[in-house]
Amino acid sequence: MPRDTFSGYHPLVNFLFFALVLLLTMCLLHPVSLGISLLCALAYCFRLTRKRTVLWLLPTAALAALLNPLFNHRGATILTYLPSGNPLTLESILYGLAAGGMLAAVLAWFACCTVVLSADKFLFLFGRVAPALSLLLSMTLGFVPKFQRRLRTVLEAQQALGQDLRQGGPVRRLRRGLSLLSILLTWSLEDAVQTADSMKSRGYGLPGRSAYTPYRLERRDRRVLLWFSLCAAVLLLAWAGGVLSWHYFPQVDGALSPWTALAQGACLALCATPLVLDHLARRAYARSLQALSGKEGS
């Protein structure tokens, strides 16, 4: 069974999902919407990478939340005064928390996007419309994982040669660090040139060129696209009607009504779609294994 069910869907489904959740996260400042997006993004990111993403995302959000009250002094509820004489307001703290949560959610969704939307999916979606831009985007998204793998490879090679970065004086460690950076940059630039030459030799960007992977919209893809359309329609109507409005200045004020609960339910349904699809697929897979074992036992 694949590690993630949603990654096996059509590239258009994957791209539309991440476009919707990123727009939702960046355009809505309602704390419930931001909380839903952040929790779903962290859960899906951990599901994909099996890494403790919280360890580097939450400190980033906390830093943004702490820095905002130091520079933003708007708000009617004054808690105290800073040593500089500027007021520390409750509204600036809450706005900083919302901004930090938004930043963490966006970073987590982008981390998921780099795993789900591979280079061949980007080329399939935008290779004919904007071949140069799609190739650049695919190479950019794959740069960080490749850079990390190459960094581990070079570090292991230098340790085997007795040139560990953690050994020696400051000058020697600085020289080895600069040498390591030079090796990584040279390797990355050489790989970029080879990729460009390889794509050119294969006829990339020429009219009539077919895709490497023939993705097709299946019935399950159409169902999920319809589901995304329904959720997006509900959220768009809620946003246009002011159901999801929320203000932090001069005082905290926002919409709280049954329609707001309905819109937040649509937000949760949209953001949790990959997790729900993966859960349903795993349950179906487990039932099929039980049925198969039952037949073999009989």
pLDDT per residue rounded down to tens, the chain (298 residues): 456 899 989 999 999 999 999 999 999 888 999 999 999 999 998 888 766 656 677 777 788 778 888 888 788 888 888 887 888 888 888 888 898 899 899 989 988 888 898 877 877 787 777 766 666 776 776 666 777 788 888 888 877 777 777 777 777 778 877 888 888 888 877 887 887 777 777 666 666 665 556 788 899 999 999 999 999 999 999 988 888 888 888 888 887 788 899 999 999 999 999 999 999 988 888 888 887 777 766 5
Quick one: which of 36, 38, 15 has its CA closest to 124? 15
Q: DSSP letter string over 51-86?
A: S-THHHHHHHHHHHHHHHHHH----S-EEEE-TTS-
The one-character DSSP state at 29 is -
d(CA 222, CA 24): 22
The span from the CA of 27 to the CA of 236, in Å, is 11
Q: Which residues of 207-216 are buried (b: 16+ CB within 10 A; e: fewer)?
A: eeeeeeeebe
3-state secondary structure (DSSP) of residue 89? strand
Q: Read off the pTM.
A: 0.78
217: phi then psi, degrees, rounded to nearest 5: -75, 110
Report pLDDT for 80. 85
String of DSSP letters for 121-178: HHHHHHTTT-HHHHHHHHHHHTHHHHHHHHHHHHHHHHHHTT--TTSS-HHHHHHHHH
Quote the pLDDT of residue 269: 95
pLDDT of residue 1: 44
